[in-house]
Amino acid sequence: MGAQTSRTDEWADVTPDAARRLLAAGVAAFAERGYHATTTRDIAGRAGMSPAALYIHYRTKEELLYRISGVGHRLALDILCRARDGAGTPAERLAEAVRRFVRWHAEHHTTARVVQYELGALGEEHRAEIVALRRETDAAVRSIIEDGVASGDFDVPDVRGTALAVLSLCVDVARWFNAAGERTPAEVGDLYADLVLRMAGHPGPSPRPA
C-alpha cells in the first residue's frame, strides 16, 4: 500500500517525515511508469496523502524529481570517488569501483533508473547541474584507468572511449536488473568487475583489495 522503501533507506536524512515519504513514493512511481506518465495524485496516494500535500514540501513535480536525481547522483559519485582515492593497485581499485558501483545500481535499481533515465525531464538549470555531476563521474573512472595505463597494469589504446564504455555498461544494469531474477546484486558486481578488467587488458582474474 504505502511507498516501497529500499532495504537500507537512502533518504534517511530527509526531513520532515512526510517529505521523505513523498520522495520514496516518487522514486517508486517514476521508476515504474516514468516521470511523464506519473501523476501527482499517484505519488501522493502512494505516500498516503492527498494530492495537495505534495506542494507543501515541493514547489513542483519537477522539483521532486530534481531532489531524487541529486541525492542519487551524489551517492553514485561517492562510490567511485572512494574507489579512485583508495589504496591498492589500479586493477584492485578499478575492480572495486565497478563491483560497488554495479552493486549499488542493482540494489537500488528503482532509484538508479530514475536517476539515469529521467534526466531529460528536468528543467534547464536543474539538468545542467546534474550533468556536471555526471562529468565528474566520468572523470573518476577515466582517472583510475589512466593510473593503470601509466603503471603498465592496463593495456588500453583508447582511454576516453573505454572509460565511456565501462560507465555505460555499469549504468545500464539499472535498466535490465530484476530483483526477482536469478542473480544477486553482488554476483552481478563480481561478474562485471571481471569483464571490465578484461576490457582494460589486465591479465588474470579480478583482484580483491588486500
Partner DNA sequence: GTCCGCCCTAAGCGCTCGCTCAGGCCCGGG
Partner DNA sequence: CCCGGGCCTGAGCGAGCGCTTAGGGCGGAC
If contact means CB under 5 to 8 A according to the sort of partner, which of DNA, a second copy, none does residue 208 touch?
A: none
Other CB atoms within a 10 A radius of the CB of residue 84 amount to 19
Secondary structure (3-state) at 200: coil
Residues 6+ away with beta carbon under 8 Å from 74: 133
Q: Specify whether the CB–CB gap between 27 and 68 falls below 8 A.
A: yes
Other CB atoms within a 10 A radius of the CB of residue 141 amount to 25
How far is 135 from 141, CA to CA, in rounded Å? 10
Pick the stretch among 8-16, 67-75, 124-132, 164-172 that binds a second copy (CB under 8 A): 164-172
Site string for a second copy, 175-194 (x = CB under 8 A): xx------x----x--xx-x
What minimum distance in Å lies between the beta carbon of 15 and a second copy? Answer: 32
What minimum distance in Å lies between the beta carbon of 29 and DNA? Answer: 10
CA distances from 200 to 43, 62, 100, 209 (A): 43, 39, 18, 17
Site string for a second copy, 18-57 (x = CB under 8 A): ---------------xx-xx--------------------
| Residues at the interface with a second copy (CB under 8 A) | 33-34, 36-37, 117, 120-121, 157-158, 161-162, 164-165, 168-169, 171-173, 175-176, 183, 188, 191-192, 194-195, 198-199, 201
